[in-house]
Amino acid sequence: MKIDRFFQLFVVKEKKFFPLYIELSKNILAGANRLVDLTMEQDEIKRLEIARAIKACERDGDKTMATILEELYKTFVTPFDREDVHQLASRMDSFLDFINDSAKKISIYQPTCIDEAMVQMAKLIEKDAELLVEAVSQFEELNKRADAISDLCKRIGDIEHEGDDLYEDYMSHLFTQEKNAIEVIKKKNIIQSLEDTTDHAKSVAEVIRTIIVKQA
C-alpha cells in the first residue's frame, strides 16, 4: 500500500461533495424526463416550452457544477482523488449539456414528425439518468457499495450499446425511406445528438468505475 493511501485511511474525509453530486444527478434526470416529453410532443409551441424547461435544468446544473468547483478549491481532504472529483462533476455537467443540445436541435429544426426511434433514444437517456442518480446516491458508502455501483455503471454501458444499434437501424431506415432531403438532414442531426448523449452517459459511468478501482 502506498504511504499516502495509508495515511488517508486515518483522515476524516469531506463528505459535502456527495449531496452536490446527488443534486447534479437529479438535475440531469429532470432534464432527461423532459427530453422524453419533448420527443413525444407533436405541437411545435409546446416543444419550445419543454425545451426552455430543459434549458432551466441545464442552468441549475451549471450552478451546482460551480459550487462543486468552489468547494473543491476550499477543501483539503476530498472523498477521492481531487482530479476525479473534478472530472466526475465535469462529465456529469456535460451529460446535461448534451441533453440540452438534443432538445435545442428538436426545437430549432422542428421536424415534421418525431419518429419512434427518437422517442426510444430519449427513453434510453432517461434510463441512464435514473441509473446515475441511483449510483451517486450510494457514494457515501462507496467501499461497501462498490459492486452495486459498478453494476449500475455496467448497465449504463449496456444502454450505450443498445443506443448504437438503435441509431444504426434508424439511419438505414431514414436514408431509404425519407424522400424529403431537408427532413433527412434534420432527423439525422437530431438522432446523432441523442446517440452522442448516450455515449456521454457511458463516459460518466467510466469515471465512476475508475474511482471505484482506485478506492479498492
The per-residue DSSP string of 116-176 comes to HHHHHHHHHHHHHHHHHHHHHTTGGGTTTTHHHHHHHHHHHHHHHHHHHHHHHHHHHHHHH
173 touches 142 (CB < 8 A):
no
Residue 148's pLDDT is 96
| Residue bearing cell 468552489 | 70
Note if the pTM is more than 0.85: yes
Count the neighbouring beta carbons within 10 Å of the beta carbon of residue 3: 7
pLDDT at residue 181 above 50? Answer: yes
The DSSP secondary-structure symbol of 12 reads P
**100-138 confidence digits (pLDDT tens):** 999 999 999 999 989 999 999 999 999 999 999 999 999
The b-or-e profile of 128-160 (16+ CB within 10 A means b, else e) is bbbbbbebbbbbeebeebbeebbebbebbeebb
The pLDDT tens digits for 163-172 are 999 999 999 9
14-215 CATH pick, 1.20.58.220, 3.40.50.2300, 3.40.710.10, 3.40.30.10:
1.20.58.220
> What local confidence, expressed as pLDDT, does residue 216 receive?
64
Give percent of the chain with pLDDT exceeding 70.
93
What one-character DSSP code corresponds to residue 41? Answer: -
Measure the CA–CA gap between 163 and 137, rounded to whole angstroms. 25
Mean pLDDT of the chain: 90
pLDDT given for residue 14 in this prediction? 55
C-alpha grid cell, residue 188: 439525422
